[in-house]
Each structure stands twice: as structure tokens, then as C-alpha cells.
Amino acid sequence: MKKSLIAILVAGLMAPVLSFAEKGDFVVRARATYVTPDETSHLIQSSFPGDKLTVDNNIIPEIDFSYYITKNIAAELILATGTRHDVNIAGPDAQKLGSVNLLPPTLTLQWHFNPDQTFDPYAGAGVSYVRAMDNGLATTWAGHPVAAGSGIHIDRNMWGPALQAGVDVNLQDKWLVNFDVKKIWFNTDVYLNPTTKIDSLDIDPWVVSFGVGKKF
């Protein structure tokens, strides 16, 4: 019996020591992120019957920074390289319009349910600012030139709310593995020229990320 207890104690001492986040910690994560728009096109059907705009998916690298206000509450700033998406017309006037490059920094406030456990799930909410680093699309529609002096384009700046859920898997030496899902809502107006609005396009992407992190 004594030998068994000694063996259990030795095994416990030799077991890997996991590292959990504490108040005042910073966490840096590097993730691969899949951005899939859940778009809704409101193309003016009286002018373009049967047509709608579509936005394709993309995978991008992403880095984020978290600061633990307490063990349970963390603020996270998500930064990413620009996410480039092709924009197309689907319908009778089907054509490729080109692509736009969107930069989507997002700030969320998270609640960590089990901060001192191997699996640390969390939920968060915040706001996303989306900057169209290039917002110009085609210069023709269905083979016809757009009004002189301007092509089809979207808004340069967009804002929207964000919800988030994920889990950190705590490892040794302050490392962790992370899985994260966000839903971001934002929309943009689409113009044929500076004064002719043709669509109010809700992009509303799902943002799914997987990566590793380090506590400091």
C-alpha cells in the first residue's frame, strides 16, 4: 500500500505542469483563418432583374493579442493581413467584377469559463472595423462601360458587431492551442458611379480560426 502511494506521488511530481493564464498576462496567438461570407444581395431588381452579387471565401494568416484583466475576463485584438475576396454577378448578367481587399481588425471582450483548466472555453462580443484597402471593381457591367470617370466600387470604411466563441487548450511552458469561431455583421453600398447606388450588400462573414499561442 505504501509503495502504491509513493508511486502515485512520484507520478504526480513527474507529470507535466500546465500553465494557466493569470491576471495581467498577455497572450499572443498565430492562427490560420477561414473567412466565409454569408452575403445577402439587395441588388436593385427593377434595373437588374434576376441578378445578385456574390462574395467568395478565403484563407488568411492572422495574429491576435489578448490581455487578461482578470483570470476570467480578457480583451482580445484580432489583426490580420488583408483578406481578398472575388466579387461576382450571379444571374442573367453573370460576370466577374474583380476583387476587393478588406482589412478587418476586431476587438472583443471575452469571458473565460474555466481559466485554471486544461480546456478553457470562452465567449466574447465586440466590434469590427473593416477597411477596404482597394475598393474598386469592374469598369463594365454585362459588357457595357460604366459611367465615365468611375467604375463599380464599394464603401471604403465599414463597422459591425462581432460575436465569438472558442477554446484554449493549455499546454506546458505557457503554450496553448486555440480554436475560435466568430460571426461578424457588416454591410457595404455598391455603386456604378459616385452617385448611382445599385446594391446594399450584407457580407456578414463567418470567421473560423485554428492556431497556437504563448502567454507572457
Q: What is the DSSP string of 102-148?
A: EE--EEEEEEES-TTSSEEEEEEEEEEEEEEEE-B--SEETTEEPST
Residues 6+ apart with CB under 8 A from 92: 49, 50, 51
> What is each CA distance from 139 to 16, 62, 88, 153, in whole angstroms?
61, 32, 13, 9
Q: How confident is the model at residue 13 (pLDDT cuts 50, 70, 90)?
A: very low
Cα-Cα-Cα-Cα dihedral sign, residues 139, 143, 146, 152: negative
Grid cell for residue 91: 444571374
Asked if residues 96 and 104 have their Cβ atoms less than 8 Å apart, the reply is no
pLDDT digits (tens, 9 = 90+) for 147-202: 555 678 888 899 999 999 999 999 998 999 999 999 999 999 988 777 788 888 99
pLDDT for residue 12 = 42
Q: Are 102 and 87 in contact (CB under 8 A)?
A: no
* Cut 0.75: pTM above it: yes
CB distance 182 to 127 below 8 Å: no
The C-alpha cell that represents 137 in the structure block: 471593381
Q: Sorting pLDDT into bands at 50, 70 and 90, what band is 24?
A: confident
More confident residue, 115 or 74: 74
Distance CA 106, CA 76 (A): 8
Q: Note whether 164 and 108 are within 8 A (CB).
A: yes
Determine the 3-state secondary structure of 20 from DSSP: coil
Q: What pLDDT, on a 0 to 100 scale, did the predictor assign at position 150?
A: 61
Biggest CA pair distance of the chain: 90
Residue 113 has pLDDT above 80, yes or no: yes
Q: In angstroms, what CA-CA distances link 143 with 49, 66, 72, 190?
A: 16, 49, 56, 18
d(CA 167, CA 77): 16
Residues 122 and 112: beta-carbon distance below 8 Å? yes
Residue 128 has pLDDT above 90, yes or no: yes
CB neighbour list of residue 10: distance below 8 Å, 6 or more residues apart:
none
Q: Which of 157, 160, 158 is nearest to 125 (CA)?
A: 160
Q: What's the chain's average pLDDT?
A: 85
Counting every residue written for the chain, the total comes to: 216
Q: What is the pLDDT of residue 110?
A: 97
Q: What integer pLDDT is reported at residue 167 of this predicted model?
A: 96
What whole-number percentage of the chain has pLDDT above 70?
85
